[in-house]
Amino acid sequence: MSDATPEPSGAQRMFGDFAPALVGYTDDVLFGDAWKRAELSPRDRSLVTVAALIAGGNTEQLNFHLPYARENGVTEQEIIEAITHLAFYAGWPKAMSALGVAKNIFTAPNEG
């Protein structure tokens, strides 16, 4: 038996005591089940998710999903191109807001 406790997820750290049910769904269903389905690769899921967040104007969530997309193999140039393309379909203000978040993330000094 191991004494190691798993590292809490980002959702657990942010909202675990406040909204434990939503955190459980986030960790177990969204990232546990939906993101693991074989029909789309993690790379494709990231690109779809980033597009949906931009189209919905949910740029705050890009702070997590843009780095996650890079981890899943989407390049910064592909993300910038997707945002540019979305300007025509989702709206210019949404694309410009997303570019601001992307620029902050992609040009921030590397930590560690």
The tens digit of pLDDT for each residue in 39-60 reads: 999 999 999 999 999 999 999 9
**Domain co-membership, 22 together with 63:** no
Q: What span, in angstroms and rounded, lies between the C-alpha atoms of 45 and 74?
A: 10
**Domain co-membership, 47 together with 88:** yes
Encoded tokens for 102: 């992307």
**Domain co-membership, 57 together with 81:** yes
What predicted TM-score, i.e. pTM, was given to this entire model?
Answer: 0.84
Residue 2, domain member (yes or no): no
- Domain, as residue range, for 60: 41-112
Residue 47, domain member (yes or no): yes
Query: How many structural domains comprise the chain?
Result: 2
Residue 56, domain member (yes or no): yes
Residue 109, domain member (yes or no): yes
The tens digit of pLDDT for each residue in 67-109 reads: 999 999 999 999 999 999 999 999 999 999 999 999 999 998 8
* SS3 call for 74: coil
Residue 51, domain member (yes or no): yes
**Domain co-membership, 45 together with 35:** no
Q: What span, in angstroms and rounded, lies between the C-alpha atoms of 67 and 10?
A: 13
